[in-house]
Structure 1
Amino acid sequence: MNAMDTPLCLHQPRRVEIGRGAVARVGAFAEGAVRCLVIASGPTAQYVDRLCLPGHVEVIDSVPPEPDLPAFDAVLEVARRVQPDLVVGLGGGSVMDVAKLVAALWDGTQALLDVTGPNRVAGRRTRLAQVATTAGTGSEAGTRALLTDPDTHAKIAVESPHLLADLAVLDPELTFSVPPAVTAATGVDAMAHCVEAFTNIRAHALIDGYARLGIDLVGRYLARAVADGQDGEARAGMMLASYYGGLCLGPVNTAAGHALAYPLGTRLKLPHGLANAIIFPHVLAFNESASPEKTAEVARALGLPGGGAARLLDAAHGFCAGLGLEMRLSQHGAQATDYALWAQEAHAIRRLMDNNPRDMSVAQVVEIYTAAH
């Protein structure tokens, strides 16, 4: 088989609203709803009124950046009290992941651990709208949700078509207030989704198309969005790049880059986007020898020079640092003595590491963390 005839299943939201003011169209979608549950974070709750929702509206604005099982259980308890006929995720990836799981589980008998893994969710009767307020995870497009196990510090992944949004909203105006550093980190996360799917051993011609579009949009618009948060064209371009990245995740998923980033979030408490930005240049360069042609495409789209892995590492690192990101793990509180444990945890995430185009040992993971120190 080749990338054209390899079997593939691609799920997308039933309806997508894009563009300035798109958030106001949630109200029409929600017509007939009696009890609406909006799941948000502190900064995103300001947009609830712009949803124009009918009926009783209950707002939960306490979802943390890296939600764990207790945080999810607290939201689920509220949902079971409210008994919503519409769930709205209003925020970034963490918020939208929680919204997916709440919509699927609040009125059923399955617990979270019952549905961990692929295709174990029994079904969903509650409508789900996902309104993105950052341009990074692409969670509004996908069928996966991630939570952190506080005991093991590992990510719990749930994957099911029943987590798919009935409505996804990409309104660039909701990202105008996102600070430059967050814009930069989430933008690199969106790019990493596309790049890791593009160079993945499971890469497929259909997904390659979305990945190329996403990488190109990042190359054209991320620096502009960081420099001027009110640049509507750049913000819209980055929201679309994030959406394309989300489409890449479903049938192909990410690889070593995200596996190495996860311990930085669970152990070091780094925001997901920043963790991926720190790791991105190192894994891109590491994989260059296994995927030279596609890596060269990535470099061209981002305006980076070719010339081998070492030069690529320097250039990709400069690309991220030039966006204002602090790329040294030591500046985020990491200790060199941490890396052996984190490397073992990252290496054990086989659902991602097994996708990488080049095999990576525990020792090589330590080398990458050390290089990023």
Structure 2
Amino acid sequence: MTELLRPIEITRPPAIEFGAGLVGAVGRWAAAQGITRCLVVADAFNAARIELLGLPGEVTVFGEVKPEPDIPNLERALALAERAKPDLVVGFGGGSAMDLAKLVAVLPGSGQAIHDVVGAERVAGRSTALAQVPTTSGTGSEAGTRALVTDPATRNKLAIQSRHMLADLAVVDPDLTLTVPSAVTAATGVDALAHCAEAFTSRRAHPLIDLYALEGIRLVGRYLARAVADGSDREARAGLSVASLYGGFCLGPVNTTAGHAVAYPLGTRHHVAHGLACAVIFPHTLAFNAPAVPEKTALILAALGLRAASDEGAVLAAAHGFCARLGIEMRLSRLGVPEDDLGTMAEEAHAIRRLLDNNPRDLSRDRILAIYRAAL
């Protein structure tokens, strides 16, 4: 079967507003919908600037979102939602805040607990409106139907996917990212790049998504270094916001592959921020997959402004250099990952079949371990 004959479903928020200074569109939309009770799900930094949203009526804030949210973090947010009984839930922050907002919008009052909805389309429904406002350029979660939360009992990520978690409104205001530090800008930018590159090379790749994937990669290549060098560069910030959104478009119908599977244990076991984990792993999995998708790999490098290549060694050197020049720490040992845990991490990564089964090249447990060792 050719890619053109592969069935695909594309689901997007009914309304996406994009533009500098548009953050207040959330409040205007909420007022027009007759919303009177709002719950904002945010990290501590964004919880302190919710007035930018201009929300009407009674506003309750859950401002305790963790960088790698786990079930206890979710349960605290759900308890607040049960008390506040909001008409509207707003995710305001990075992917962690937006993922928790999705779950907070569907679980309270449903009779379902988090483990009841793990997997695809197990959410019973939603009676609360949902708006998403990203403040970083990385996850593209504002456009998608997936949420990830860590189970501390297993130290694995639980993946929930449901059309009921699709936002009614996504407002992407690039000016909200002007305050993001350079190190976070670099790591989250490579996360957006990884979303696009992994979808572009996936076994489930599709021409309807390829155009977003490749353009997202081009935007990262054009603007990420600029935004890292000068956080006040509004054009660069806008370009990265588009790249992140395009990466989100890739996640729903295609999703990620080996890069994210190998990166996940870094966050769940050793609390490496998701974007940083993806950035460290990205060059290794891109290079590993190159022999299976040489033409697409060459296109990815060219889109990044690098010399086109499909040889594993050349691809690894080029992609690693791209990330290192952004100032990203590319050694796992410097990020607190101990060598004696690499084997367990490889076992856990190899078990993430929902991602690895769509990788263009079969990735064994031993090869994952070799990637960790090379990155150590």
Specify the TM-score bucket, using the shorter chain as the normaliser. Answer: over 0.9
Query: What secondary structure, in the 3-state scheme, does the structure 2 residue paired with 1:43 have?
Result: helix
* 1:5 aligned residue: 5
Could you tell me the percent identity over the aligned residues? 61
Structure 2 matches for 1:322-333, cutoff 5 A? Answer: 322-333=325-336
Residue 147 of structure 1 corresponds to: 149
TM-score, with structure 1 as normaliser = 0.99
- Is residue 2:373 matched to residue 1:370? yes
Aligned mates of 2:3, 2:235 — CA distance in 1: 33
Conserved in 1, the CA contact under 8 Å of 2:138 and 2:192? yes
Output aligned runs, 1:7-86, within 5 Å. Answer: 7-31=7-31, 32-86=34-88
- Mean Cα deviation higher: 205-214 or 179-188: 205-214
Are 2:285 and 1:280 aligned?
Answer: no
Deviation at 1:106, TM superposition (A): 1.4
**Aligned residue in 1 for 2:121:** 119
TM-superposed CA distance for 1:46, in Å, is 2.9
Q: Which residue of 2 aligns with 1:355?
A: 358
Amino acid in the other structure paired with 1:369: Y
Aligned-partner SS, 1:187: helix
AA aligned to 1:233 is E
Cα distance, 1:50 vs structure 2: 0.8
Instruction: Tell me, yes or no, if structure 1 residue 217 matches structure 2 residue 210.
Output: no
Deviations 1:19-70 (A, max 9, x none): 1111011111101211100010011123300111110000111010101111
Whether the 8 Å contact between 2:299 and 2:308 is mirrored in structure 1 is: no
SS of 1:89's partner is strand
Per the TM alignment, residue 250 of structure 1 is displaced from its structure 2 partner at its CA by 0.5
Distance in structure 2 (CA, Å) of the matches to 1:334 and 1:25: 42
| Partners of 1:137 and 1:242 within 8 A in 2 | yes
Q: How far 1:132 moved relative to its partner?
A: 0.2
Query: Are the equivalent residues in 2 in contact too, given 1:141–1:243 (CA < 8 A)?
Result: yes
For the residue of structure 1 that corresponds to 2:334, the secondary structure is helix
Q: For the Cα contact (< 8 Å) 1:144–1:159, is it kept in 2?
A: yes
* Structure 2 gap segments, 5+ residues each: none
- Aligned amino acid, residue 315 of structure 1: A
TM-score computed with the length of structure 2 as normaliser: 0.98
Please give the root-mean-square deviation of Cα atoms over the aligned residues, in Å: 0.8
**1:105 Cα offset (Å):** 1.3
Deviation at 1:145, TM superposition (A): 0.3
User: Does the 8 Å CA contact 1:38/1:87 hold for their aligned counterparts?
Assistant: yes
Which stretch of structure 1 is more off in the superposition, 335-344 or 275-284? 335-344
How far 1:107 moved relative to its partner? 2.7
SS, match of residue 148 in structure 1: strand
Matches within 5 A, 1:160-239: 160-239=162-241
Q: Which runs of no fewer than 5 residues in structure 1 stay unpaired? A: none
Q: Within the alignment, does 1:344 sit opposite 2:347 as a pair?
A: yes
Ranges of 4+ aligned residues in structure 1 off by more than 3 Å: none
**Greater Cα shift, 42-51 or 229-238:** 42-51
Judge conservation of contact 1:86–1:128 (CA < 8 Å) in 2. yes
Please state how far the C-alpha of 1:113 moved relative to its aligned partner.
1.1
Between 26-35 and 135-144, the greater mean CA deviation after superposition: 26-35
- Determine the C-alpha separation between the residues in 2 that align with 1:317 and 1:213: 21
Superposed CA offset, 1:244-291 (max 9, x none): 101101111100000000000011110000000000000000000000
